[in-house]
Structure 1
């Protein structure tokens, strides 16, 4: 295949996650993946065919502020449940005080909605959480 010829990831020494690309994600409304980084610290492109997705992403430099669990490539805070209204997040803020800093304007945190036909790029080792807003 044309893609296979240029996919250097597939030409690496055999690894447990090598067979996971390319991937197809299909999900129902309200299903999600909590804040994480991908195996192998790989970057990826996500093209959306149908439905809508809510993304929360952070630059790699924000990792100290988003409570990384290094052993599992996961993060302790459930950022998908974080409400932008500070008044409703007092318990969340007490538990994860640095997270609010990562979400401030000018920091390396981003939230956006992906619509059908849009392509998203997540850089290598980029923390991200995704929620399906509609059935796909």
Structure 2
């Protein structure tokens, strides 16, 4: 659940653990900017263990491809795993959302969780659970 006042914002970041993200806006309007995941490296990411990647992109932002739009009540948004994005609340807002991992981003999630597992037991446990999900592939054997 996201509830935010007019003018509040979330800086440019990538959601943690290689997860996809969806949001259904219930009230208010939000201005979104989403960059293709292929642009992430050019946007100067910095990583703090246990947090989303943050960016200090400076001039790289003005040259990068991006999607900019306003989200209105009743609209549903999908942000693919690894896509840098930022959002500003144009009005008081409320929304429901979730991050998730499925076949489309499982490999990315396993890679990110494997790194996080070096210092975070919860990430190690989640990695172990995801590595053995029943998929079309056999149970993956990723040693930590």
- CA RMSD, 1 decimal: 1.4
- Map of 1:55 onto structure 2: 32
- The equivalent of 2:102 in structure 1 is none
TM-score (norm: length of structure 2): 0.58
Q: Is the 8 A contact 2:45 2:55 kept in 1?
A: yes
Residues matched between the structures, number: 90
What is the TM-score of this pair, normalised by structure 1? 0.62
Quick check: 1:130 aligned with 2:130? no
How do residues 1-136 of structure 1 correspond to structure 2 at under 5 angstroms?
Answer: 24-71=1-48, 73-77=53-57, 96-102=58-64, 107=65, 109-136=66-93
The list of structure 1 runs, each at least 4 consecutive aligned residues, that deviate by more than 6 angstroms after superposition, is none
Gaps of 5+ in 1: 1-23, 78-95
Which structure is higher in RCO with an 8 Å CA cutoff and minimum separation 6? Answer: 1
Structure 2: gaps (5+ residues): 94-144
> Normalized per residue, which structure has more strand?
2
